Structure 1
Amino acid sequence: MKSKKIKAIIFIIIITASLSFLFYNLSFQPDTRELRAVVKEVNDSEISGSGVQKFGRQLVQVEIKEGKFKGETFNASNHLIGNFAWDYRFSEGDEILVAISETESGEIRAVIALDIYRQGWILVLLALFIILLLLYARYIGLKALFSFIGSIIIIWKVLVPGLLNGLNPLLFTTFVLIILSALILFSIAGFTKKGLAAFFGTSLSLLITIILTIFFGNKLALDGMSAPYVGEMLAAGYFNLNVRDIFYAAVVIGASGAAMDIAMDMSTTIKELKEKRPDMEMKDLIKSGFNVGSDVIGTMTTTLLLAYAGGYLTLMMAFMTRTTTLRRIFNLRIIVSEILRTIVGSIGLVIVAPITTIFAAWLYSREFKLKDIKDKFLKN
């Protein structure tokens, strides 16, 4: 048994390292178009505007720190469009990312200063997360890391390209979320009764959440145009996208993570109860599970509210400065969109707890082992 666990750990380490290497090489490795540089001089003479909103061009002299231009100095342009989310004025000594455009003959056509180079500190933060996860959760933490990296790759390399290519947002997102749920839950719990109960509860809750999102989203006349960066996506030429259904898909994605958490909590609770008290009947397991679930849901619902409120804290502050009436606030499309996210997500949490509890109690009350079923299936 111990040797099997050691082999499993080695296998997960190899797969996790391979996925990490693949993702890093596909997404973070520098190329000749975007390179790290250091600002040597700045010139703000071509910047205009009043107050904090600035327009124009900041001229910066940069020294390239990597790639074939390493050590060379170029004059770069930093274009300011008056958009606080995209604009950044550089200072001498800043480490930044620049885009270098070349002609077919290899001559430099233009050098554009893009933004502050933050990738290094992102990797430090990620390393801190991995270290703490492994120190606390050990073997389970290793499996969680595998599912974490696998989920990032599936979202970035499968979900996002699929949506941009015009696949049906709700159907495709549902398919991807079911795959993700299986990856996350079975990698943590294994192909056990606990994992199966959590997966069943998550999947059924996901389908109910989709139905609620479509029904109330249509009733509230939400078209998805209030979602962040929709304008930029349309400006890039993706006019064929169903923005409303993409927004609905985003609502479901946001609710799925918390639903998986609750489903695993409830299936683990039933498993522990049955192991400590093998004589407990199904109705007793359900009753105890409901008692635990009510407390978990009580805090998780508020947690979901705080998560969404944190994302739109500055928006609420802006409303407060303008003394906007509550009637006006609760009829604004952007606010109603977030209300839909919060309430539908909370309903998903309320639904997933009893579904998972009942199914888990039924599974643990049956006299069969999933391993025997799997072996029988493979033989046939």
Structure 2
Amino acid sequence: MRSTRRDSLFCLVITLATLVLHLLPTGFDSRGPARSLRSQGKVIATDDSRVRTLGPVTTGIQSVTVELLDGPFAGRTVTAHNEILGKLELDKRFHVGDRVLTVLTLDDQGDISVAVAHDFYRLDVELALFGLFALALIVFAGWTGAKALLSFVFSAYALWKLLVPALLSGWDPIFVTLLVTTVLLAAIIFLVAGLSRRGAVAFLGSLLGILTTCAMALLFGAAFRVHGSVLPFSETLLHMGLGHLDLTQIFLAAIFLACSGAVMDLAMDVATSMAEVAAANPALTFGQLLRSGLRVGQAVVGTMTTTLLLAYSGTATALLMLLMAQGIPLAVIMNSTYVAAEVLRTVVGSFGMVLVAPCTALVGATLLARRPRFHPPAAQH
């Protein structure tokens, strides 16, 4: 009963922290365009007369007639422009019936002066998808699923309201990322596992794995000589006047942040197995429980080592196809900056997952093993 009360209190604390993060300003909220509004709109007409296509490249300006659906100008029809730059990953082409997010710039009288069709309106679909995810999680896992959902929301807010603003403000990327990652590990693990020895084992084991990954990233990051501009859109930050940012340190911090979820999963698997074994046989000694944890860790690591390889390969598929299509030798490919960056992220992250298993097993054996009882000497007659 006491454990349930502690867990409920911890859930309440994380819920309140999530609400505080929701209300917390990032410090960059007021840096957007002055006197601007965003409104959902429906495309009722398009004009492609200024759009030109040459081979796979399309450029120009598409004029879009939009009926605004919400906000103070709901029901009003405006003509918005959609600039097409010839970059498929950024461009969009609107058609009649599409729903768009329209950015409205207001004049001094508060009327619309310029309208831009920013992108397709996706918020309703995103919310519907998240709702299905939340429903499936709660239906399958019940109260544990509800706590996992809370940890998901808290993590998203912590990354957006704490980590990203701190990095933009020029805080040390390694320190602030380690700090936020530690907070997330504690919140996620203790929400799911409860304030228990099992949770403590999983938290300490995963923290040791993250610290190891951080040290490996710093050690081999310098040897690989990879600049942080390999991160998508990172160089754009410098052109925006954020020249104080250390992109390389941000890239190295992103390595252990990206693998923290997999490290936490592995630590939780080992900790849960050891807790079950200890509960089934409380007489197990430190050495017996350690060997049990190591055997579980060996089995889990066998499949987890390829997790990051598959994840990062999925994001770099187009790059690998481009390099192969050009007939570039493998030795040249492995020495290219982008591929070297992926190798660094994959191997360093996997190295952290290999070490988290024995670390968790050692912590678990220390916290879960039977403690020898002290027997006072028999009285002498």
Asked if TM exceeds 0.5, the reply is yes
Tell me which residue corresponds to 1:64: 68
Q: Residues 165, 26 of structure 1: CA spacing in aligned structure 2 closer, same or farther, 3 A cutoff? A: closer
Pairing of 1:304-315 with structure 2 (within 5 A): 304-315=308-319
Q: Which amino acid aligns with 1:283?
A: G
Greater shift, 350-359 or 315-324, is seen at 315-324
Match of 1:271 among 275, 298, 303: 275
Q: Does 1:282 align with 2:268?
A: no
Distance 2:223 2:46 in 1: 53
Work out whether residues 16 and 149 of structure 1, in 8 Å CA contact, stay in contact via their aligned partners in 2: no
1:175-234, CA deviations, whole angstroms, 9 ceiling, x for partnerless residues? 111111111111112221111111111112211111110111110101111111112222
C-alpha distance in 2, partners of 1:10/1:181? 18
Q: Secondary structure at the match of 2:314?
A: helix
1:346 to 346, 350, 363: 350
Match of 1:160 in 2: 164
- Contact 2:282 2:369 (8 Å CA) reproduced: no
1:23-42 map, 5 Å: 23=22, 33-42=37-46
Quick check: 1:20–1:149 contact (8 Å CA) kept in 2? Answer: no
Offset, 1:22: 7.2
Q: 1:301 aligns with which of 298, 302, 305?
A: 305
Aligned pairs (5 A) from 1:81-100: 81-100=85-104
Going from structure 1 to structure 2, the CA distance change for 1:7 and 1:345 (only over 3 Å counts) comes to: closer
Equivalent pair of 2:294/2:361 in contact (CA under 8 Å): yes
Distance 2:142 2:318 in 1: 38
Q: Partners in 2 of 1:69 and 1:191 — Cα distance?
A: 51
Report the equivalent of 2:77. 73
Name structure 2 gaps, 5 residues minimum.
27-34, 373-381
Separation in structure 2 between the aligned mates of residue 220 and residue 50 of structure 1, nearest angstrom: 40
C-alpha separation between the residues in 2 aligned to 1:8 and 1:359?
Answer: 22
TM-score, structure 1 as length reference: 0.90
Farther off after superposition, 289-298 or 352-361: 289-298
Deviation at 1:366, TM superposition (A): 5.0
Cα shift at 1:292: 1.3
Q: Which moves more between the two structures, 325-334 or 202-211?
A: 202-211
**Which of 347, 358, 361 is residue 357 of structure 1 equivalent to?**
361
1:243 paired to 2:247 = yes
Deviation at 1:49, TM superposition (A): 3.9
Identity fraction in percent: 36
Change (3 A) 1:21 1:120: farther
2:125 maps to which residue? 121
Distance in 2 separating the partners of 1:52 and 1:82:
8
- Length-normalised TM-score, structure 2: 0.90
Provide the rounded CA distance (Å) in 1 between the counterparts of 2:234 and 2:150: 32
Within the alignment, does 1:228 sit opposite 2:232 as a pair? yes
Residue 235 of structure 1: how far off its partner (Å): 2.3
Per the alignment, residue 184 of structure 2 pairs with 180
Amino acid in the other structure paired with 2:283: D
Deviation at 1:245, TM superposition (A): 0.2
Deviations 1:282-315 (A, max 9, x none): 1111112111111111111112211111111122
**Using the alignment, how far apart are the partners of 1:115 and 1:21 within structure 2?**
30
- 1:306-325 matches, within 5 Å, as 306-325=310-329
8 A contact 1:147–1:187 mirrored in 2? yes
Deviation at 1:7, TM superposition (A): 9.9
Any idea what the Cα deviations from partners look like across 1:324-379, whole Å, max 9, x if unmatched?
211111011111101111101100000000000111111112549xxxxxxxxxxx
CA distance in 1 between partners of 2:16 and 2:142 (Å) = 16
Specify whether residues 25 and 133 from structure 1 end up closer, same or farther in structure 2 by C-alpha distance, changes over 3 A only. farther
For residues 362 and 267 of structure 2, the distance between their equivalents in structure 1, rounded to whole angstroms, comes to: 11
Q: Point out the more displaced range, 10-19 or 233-242.
A: 10-19
Q: Aligned letter for 2:97?
A: G
What are structure 1's unaligned runs of at least 5 residues? 369-380
Rounded Cα–Cα distance in structure 2 between residues aligned with 1:182 and 1:25: 21
Of residues 130, 139, 161 in structure 2, which corresponds to 1:135?
139
CA–CA separation in structure 2 for the residues paired with 1:63 and 1:10: 48
- The aligned residue for residue 335 of structure 1 is 339
Counterpart CA distance in 2 for 1:21 and 1:172 is: 19
Aligned with 1:102 (options 81, 84, 106)? 106
- Regions of 4+ moved over 3 Å: 4-27
RMSD between superposed Cα atoms in Å: 2.4
1:212 is aligned, of 213, 216, 234, to 216
1:68 is paired with a residue whose SS is: coil
